Structure 1
Amino acid sequence: MPDFSPTQYAVPAFVLLVLIEMIWARYKRPDAYEPRDTLVSLAFGTGSTVAGALFGGFAFWLFIKTYEFRLFDFGEEWWKVWWAWPLAFLLDDLKYYWVHRAGHRIRWMWAAHVNHHSSQHYNLSTALRQTWTGNFTFGLLFAIPLVLLGFHPFMLGIVAGFNLIYQFWIHTEAINKMPRWFEAVMNTPSHHRVHHATNPLYLDRNYAGVFIIWDKMFGTFQPEVENEKIRYGIVKQLGSFNLLWAVFHEWIGMLTDIWSAPWKHKLSYLLREPGWTHDGSRETSDMIRASWQERTQSKAPEPLPTDDGQTA
């Protein structure tokens, strides 16, 4: 049985690439890095590793127990079944799309995932803003169907590691666009910049991990538009470089809402989309986008009449 963690081997490359991007930013984009923001991102990465070591054991135990009820068996030497690896990678990326989408549409999961979006800067260090509290959501349940199909938890852990490594390089403004064929199939810096934007046009779009085709298949794709300058972060910005506030602010907000809400609405504050309120005092991403579209359309110029009395 292989004992291999691809992310451990990738860490030196991560550090090197961040340093290279810092040099690029110094001459090309001085505002791309903010020292305090970068330190928070590095602390997020360190804390996420510790949290995974402390709380990841339950997920692994659950997957191993579930594996006993698998529908298909790849044999005792499952790691030698070559065709299972690319299939596992593809299916794991599809699973990631739905976990990620749920992380934006279910407040309980958003409380953990918001960490990754909390920076108002977009650079390679932002990729290190990984959750400390993801193990306290039900995101791990999305992997259960893959385990039941016969993919060993170790195999899923390895392909998920490569998926995470791929996503590192797309957190940059140093790359504008990749070749058209690549942009059509793969997730890229351009596609992922959209995902990190707070502009109404871009909110809750491009959930892909590796393959952007999932967003195109399920109606959540939005290309980056040249005349729509991206604003990064979250709708209600942190306004602070306090690490613990960055980690736990949405958990505090969610629990506060649940505590103060009428009994019939308490569960909705856990399972409805971020921004939902029973009294309409805040806005969801769908509401923000609808308001923006209404304003945009109201500002559109009236069509000019043509010679035949029709409008152009």
Structure 2
Amino acid sequence: MPRDLITYAIPAFVLLILLEIILTSIDQKHLYRPKDALSSIAMGLGNVFIGLFTKAIVLGVYAFVYQFRFFTLDFVWWVWLLAFFADDFSYYWFHRTSHTVRFFWASHVIHHSSESYNLATALRQTWTGNISGAFLFWVWMPLAGFHPMMVMTMQAVSLIYQFWIHTELIQRLPAPIEYIFNTPSHHRVHHGSDIAYLDSNHAGVLIIWDRLFGTFTPEVQRPAYGLTSNINTHNPLRIATHEWRSIWQDIRRAKNLREALHYAFDAPGWSADGSRKTTKQLRAAQRSA
């Protein structure tokens, strides 16, 4: 299975995390908190374990759709190149939607729940992503003619690439790289809970999508990592499910179906009584202050 690429990369992940711990300890930067790092690793292991089951379902869906493909794209170099851009484009819109639709945010919020930013944070992955339909953002690819195994391979390549950008040890890279690729500087902004940084830099590999679609924000100051309202727990089960529980509680309190749908599918932070605020509302309040 293409997802095994991530399994093969795990030893490298471990070695790089150990190297980062050593380097940051020497510099006394204190980027690691043991409980936080362990909870991130636990989330990553849970993601891999659950993926043993969900990836078969995803592959089955892609294979079913592939039967109705418009074209047949062979395993040649230029098709792999097209697949790279198609996957990265799909990831951008999936990632952007995961910040603007609460239903998808409920899975993605796990990755943002750490108040630290280091290579271990990269392993803090959702347990419910495929279950909640994240893979549907890529369904158009087998329909267009990309083989399902090619689609899943490119998804794995993207995730492996994104591991190294979760670090504060690397500052700005040469300008051409910063302009085209997602880098530690760009991704630090994405993990910031500062109002100016919220919902920015959704790139997977290429930052060009954020530049094209107006979601790019440069790193000006060191971000405050985590959520606008942190969950204050290292319990993996609570980390994995806290937003789903909150959605259910909000829906139960909703006065009507319209309110319930807003709580599930509006932007994170939407509330009927205004007690919580979306990113747009937070920015509007900051401007008027």
| TM bucket, shorter chain | over 0.9
Partner residue, 1:219:
214
Report sequence identity in percent. Answer: 46
Partner residue, 2:72:
73
2:234 partner SS? coil
Match of 1:247 among 222, 226, 240: 240
Q: How does 1:86-165 map to 2 (within 5 A)?
A: 86-165=81-160
How far apart in 2 are the matches of 1:237 and 1:92? Answer: 31
Q: Return the offset for 1:3.
A: 6.3
Q: Which runs of 5+ in 1 are unaligned?
A: 296-312
Does the 8 Å contact 2:117/2:168 carry over to 1? yes
Q: Return the offset for 1:29.
A: 4.2
When Rg is computed on C-alpha atoms for both structures, the one with the higher figure is: 1
How far apart in 1 are the matches of 2:139 and 2:283? Answer: 34
How many aligned positions are there?
288
How far apart in 1 are the matches of 2:260 and 2:204? Answer: 32
1:45 partner SS? helix
Q: Return the offset for 1:244.
A: 1.1
Match of 1:282 among 255, 276, 281: 276
Partner residue, 1:310:
none
How far apart in 1 are the matches of 2:3 and 2:227? Answer: 35
Letter aligned with residue 41 of structure 2: L
Does the 8 Å contact 2:189/2:217 carry over to 1? yes
TM-score by length of 2: 0.96
Does the 8 Å contact 2:2/2:152 carry over to 1? no
Does the 8 Å contact 1:203/1:289 carry over to 2? no
Q: Say if 2:163 is the partner of 1:178.
A: no
How far apart in 2 are the matches of 1:142 and 1:89? Answer: 15
How far apart in 2 are the matches of 1:92 and 1:215? Answer: 15
2:120 partner SS? helix
Q: Deviations over 1:25-76 (max 9, x none)?
A: 10224420000000001100100011111223222111110000000012xx
Partner residue, 2:201:
206
Moved more, 124-133 or 28-37: 28-37
Partner residue, 1:6:
5
Q: Which runs of 5+ in 2 are unaligned?
A: none
TM-score by length of 1: 0.90
How far apart in 2 are the matches of 1:57 and 1:159? Answer: 16
Aligned pair in 2 of structure 1 residues 261, 22: CA closer, same or farther (>3 Å)? same
Partner residue, 1:36:
35
How far apart in 1 are the matches of 2:30 and 2:3? Answer: 38
How far apart in 2 are the matches of 1:149 and 1:55? Answer: 23
How far apart in 2 are the matches of 1:60 and 1:4? Answer: 10
How far apart in 2 are the matches of 1:43 and 1:204? Answer: 26
Q: Return the offset for 1:267.
A: 1.1
Query: Which consecutive segments of 4 or more residues in structure 1 shift more than 6 A?
Result: none
Aligned pair in 2 of structure 1 residues 161, 120: CA closer, same or farther (>3 Å)? same
Aligned pair in 2 of structure 1 residues 122, 29: CA closer, same or farther (>3 Å)? farther
Q: Say if 2:266 is the partner of 1:267.
A: no
Does the 8 Å contact 1:208/1:215 carry over to 2? yes
Does the 8 Å contact 1:66/1:148 carry over to 2? yes
Partner residue, 1:15:
14
Letter aligned with residue 233 of structure 2: S
2:185 partner SS? helix
2:196 partner SS? coil
Partner residue, 1:235:
228
Does the 8 Å contact 2:2/2:156 carry over to 1? no
Letter aligned with residue 52 of structure 1: G
Q: Deviations over 1:245-274 (max 9, x none)?
A: 111100000111011111231111111010
Partner residue, 1:85:
80
What is the aligned-residue RMSD (CA, Å)? 1.3
